[in-house]
Structure 1
Amino acid sequence: MSSHAKPRGAQVSAHRLRRAARILHAGGVIAHATEGVWGLACDPLDPAAVLRVLTIKGRAIERGLIVIGADSAQLEAFVAPEAGDAWARATETWPAAITWLLPAADDTPWWLTGAHDTIALRQTAHADSAALCRAFGGALVSTSANVSTHPPVRNAWQARARLGEGPGGVDMILGGLPDTPGRASTIRDARTGQTLRGG
């Protein structure tokens, strides 16, 4: 690797990240590479944007959604204050391709938790996903970019073909490459340490 080469996962230009952040702030939906597969990102505090993501995926709102951040500070507000040990267990492993289920703060939007009293959070280890959160200025919904029950999208071509770009689809296909193609993040319960989905 030359001294000028980007590390794996860091593929997206600052210009495209700024454009993506503007789209997200305007209620848009972005398709982007994550650690293992592609994701759909939107502003987690914008219910209309979240509904668009759920509609694109055909996903029931009761299932809840994963929220990612560039650092734990972007995620902490979603966690109940009394979740001390569980929060420590999660933050000790981050950044990593590990999504932790944590007790949700009382004011966490119901469209993120679904029918659960927990919220799924991850401090992403993927360079471009973290850069997208930093460009946006906060945490983002990032759920697998696929129609429910169908395989996840694995590259930009599949994102465009399966999801569409423009009206009825996503507002931007950001680009980038997964770090470990085809391997979804591990999901663990931060209260018990139990692994619910292996990576």
Structure 2
Amino acid sequence: MTALTLTESCQRLITGEVIAYPTEAVFGLGCDPDNQSAILKLLSLKQRSPEKGLILIGANLAQLKPYFDKTLLTKQQLQLINQPSDQAITWLVPKNSDTPPWLTGQFDSIAIRICHHPLAHQLCLAFAKPIVSTSANLSGYLPCRTLTEVETQFGCSFPVLNGETGHRCNPSQIRDIFTGDIIRQG
């Protein structure tokens, strides 16, 4: 594992690399959501089907707005997305017509979350846009919760933003913005 500073992590994202970084519960794998080759690297590394779609995390709602159709949401729904919570909540919202299919897979929605983990939040601010967020694990393995687990699954030279997870027990809950239905328990 190559432990990176915030600045080094941001530079890796800019150059189209995939990195691991701590989130509220587990380490995430991330890259630039607008860089198709970076997304393809991430999907190949994780052995994840492109049809499943991906989550975007941002430092604030403004970073995420270019990726979803805000005209289809009420003021209350936008407030719900923006509202801090004791639990990390990823919202399924209608995708914007310009949102690349490599982010949404087979769906007409996109999964977004305002990330409150200090390092991931700072990374999004430094990168000045959201990043892709999928759990750092190889297919069939448990998500990585420590730097050592990232190194075990991805090798000693894999780039990782040096830090700890938020130690929550479960990854983010996924909810539908229109129905409130819980798609994945958090």
TM-score, length-scaled by structure 1: 0.86
Distance 2:45 2:64 in 1: 25
Distance 1:39 1:93 in 2: 20
Aligned to 2:147: 156
Q: Deviations over 1:118-151 (max 9, x none)?
A: 0000000101100111111110001100112321
2:177 corresponds to which letter in structure 1? A
1:117-128 to 2 correspondence within 5 Å?
117-128=108-119
1:137-156 to 2 correspondence within 5 Å?
137-156=128-147
Aligned to 1:23: 12
- Structure 2 stretches lacking a partner, 5+ long: none
Distance 2:34 2:125 in 1: 16
Distance 1:79 1:61 in 2: 19
Distance 2:87 2:60 in 1: 11
- Structure 1 stretches lacking a partner, 5+ long: 1-12
- Determine helix, strand or coil for the equivalent of 1:56: helix
Task: Indicate if the aligned counterparts of 1:96 and 1:123 stay in contact, CA closer than 8 A.
Answer: no
Aligned pair partner of 1:174 in 146, 155, 161:
161
1:129 corresponds to which letter in structure 2? A
Tell me how large the CA RMSD over aligned residues is: 1.8
Aligned to 1:38: 27
Shift in alpha-carbon separation, 1:132–1:16, aligned structure 2, 3 A: same
CA drift of 1:182 comes to 3.7
- Determine helix, strand or coil for the equivalent of 2:120: helix
Distance 2:98 2:47 in 1: 26
Question: Alignment length, in residue pairs?
Answer: 182
Distance 1:82 1:96 in 2: 26
Aligned to 1:47: 36
Aligned to 2:56: 67
- Determine helix, strand or coil for the equivalent of 1:151: coil
Shift in alpha-carbon separation, 1:160–1:73, aligned structure 2, 3 A: same
1:117 corresponds to which letter in structure 2? D
Aligned to 1:196: 183
The percent identity for this pair of structures is: 39
